[in-house]
A and B are shown apart, each in its own frame.
Chain A
Amino acid sequence: MTELQILFTGLLVLLLAATIVAQVMDERRPSPAVDNLIARINSWWIMVLALALAFFLGRTAMVLLFTVASFNAMREFVTIAATRREDHLAVAAAFFLILPLQYFMVWMDWYGMFSIFIPVYAFLLMPIVAVVKGETENFLVRVASVQWALMIAVYCVSYVPVFLSLDISGFEGKNLLLIAFLILIVQLSDVLQYVWGKAIGRHKIAPRLSPSKTVEGFLGGVISATLIGAAMFWITPFTFWQAGLMALGISLMGFFGGLVMSAIKRDRGVKDWGDTIAGHGGFLDRLDSLVFAAPLFFHLTRFFWMTNL
């Protein structure tokens, strides 16, 4: 079996076990919390199957999957953003021009362009499109909202398929494993923080931002995700210690990503970004930690491991 097959088999076993445990809990003592758990696990099935399909079908499917994820994420972001009708054209450009172009360049592997397209070109284009309407009220907030929508929901998310373009000697043809490593660690870290928090969480770590996050959950989750990451070194180009450090970085960025996105939600008075993914909320509720972890993990890998920089 290849590493990827082992990985997905492991995930299926894990999900199967979770499904059985949740069903047993539901029969013994049904409660809204158990219902939510079942909804979450069911959504995990769909997410894992979608990812497995993209992994199996290859590059184009992977780019398409994350194009769709970005579209949904940006729609959630813009929905609660402080835009006005004067920003309509800027928002339309973000959805129908910038987003497809970014993923097209990711697909054609044009690193020199997709890595600066949104931070430079779109960053400057958005205020220009907005200023033409001549509405000055809240101008900075409005423009920044659209720029943030693009950076968070499109630029950062598009880093995931970009791993397929890396050129690491001795690791040819196995770049999918880097994506698997990233997503696995980010999501495991989230899940484990939740589990540790539920099990032994006492002290709130950020009561104003995210009342359910605890110090115990944070430490337990990050440490266990780091250990799992180190133990997974055999699917990566890293050594045991390097893999552990990478996993630590991914978990920490994921944690802070969750806090930042939560601060935005609280400021705008919503609990979840949406309700497209049963039990989890919206796409951004599931992507928030990935958004912050993916670019860092990509650039660290590229900087230290890429053959011809």
Chain B
Amino acid sequence: MRRLLAHIMAGAIVLFARTLTAVRGVWKGVAPAPMRRVYFANHTSNADFILLWAAIPPQYRRHTRPVAAADYWLKNKWRAFIGRDVVRGVLIDRNPETRTLDPVSQMAEATDAGASLIIFPEGLRNMTSEALLPFKTGLYHLATARPELELVPVWIENLNRVMPKGEIIPVPILCTVTFGAPLAYNEDKERFLQAAYDAVLALRPDTGDT
């Protein structure tokens, strides 16, 4: 029953996102495929992973799980239902002092079970006027632990205009989700993270001002 409800809810959320934003996946450097991937994207809105999710064809969407903050998604029953059952999030504890599970091994285990992941390496929503904030190191550690995963950079455009922070009514704005060519692994942490950062930023459409 709960599974069915989650399934219907997932469909409804994707349909709603589609109606509002006419979201379109632009597969620039890579095509949709069944292999296990880590999609890493810019983060400006709580609905980012829904949009990214909606841009992935349904047959692969089911195996694609967002990595999200446990403190946000477990706050109440409703959020927990969305976070755990509907989008099947890999919920991690952001606070290094209180956590019992290591986020990187949580992510690695999820991929071992056949999932692809959606992660936002900026670590938090970007509320600044900067296009992209510096990346946290999780992506590097995951790539080191599971070198067989394909690392796909993603740029999500315009979603922050659909529902800016503090607003309750979403407005219809066209959004695109651009998928770039997979990133090569590099042992050098700094270089790897810089390359990952550049790969995401390079997908940003050069139209409009912000």
A→B interface (CB under 8 Å): 71-72, 74-76, 78-80, 82-83, 85, 88-89, 91-92, 95-96, 268-270, 274-276
Contacts and interface: CB of A to CB of B under 8 A. Distances in A.
A78 B171 contact: yes
Contacts of A75: 22, 172-174
A145 to B, nearest CB: 12
B22 A88 contact: no
A95 B208 CA distance: 21
A163 B188 CA distance: 68
What 10 A-B pairs are tightest by C-beta distance, nearest first?
Answer: A85-B164, A79-B174, A75-B172, A269-B207, A92-B169, A91-B171, A92-B171, A88-B167, A79-B173, A270-B207
Contacts of B204: none
Interface of B: 22, 24, 158, 161, 164, 167, 169, 171-174, 206-209
Contacts of A89: 167, 169
A255 B171 CA distance: 31
Contacts of B206: 269
A268 B172 contact: no
Q: Give the secondary structure class of A's interface.
A: helix
21 contacts: A71-B172, A72-B22, A75-B22, A75-B172, A75-B173, A78-B171, A78-B172, A79-B158, A83-B161, A85-B164, A85-B167, A88-B167, A88-B169, A88-B171, A89-B169, A91-B171, A95-B171, A96-B169, A268-B207, A274-B22, A276-B22
Majority-rule SS of B interface residues: loop
A274 B175 CA distance: 10
Contacts of A92: 167, 169, 171
B76 to A, nearest CB: 26
A123 B151 CA distance: 49
Given A88-B169, A270-B207, 19 more contacts: A75-B22, A75-B172, A75-B174, A76-B174, A78-B171, A78-B173, A79-B173, A79-B174, A83-B161, A85-B164, A88-B164, A88-B167, A92-B167, A92-B169, A92-B171, A95-B171, A268-B207, A269-B206, A269-B207
Contacts of A269: 206-208
A275 B169 contact: no
Nearest to B20: A75
A274 B174 contact: yes
A80 B207 contact: yes
Contacts of B158: 79
Given A76-B174, A92-B171, A276-B22, A85 B161 contact: yes
A38 B194 CA distance: 43
Contacts of A88: 164, 167, 169, 171
A92 B162 CA distance: 10
B172 A275 contact: no
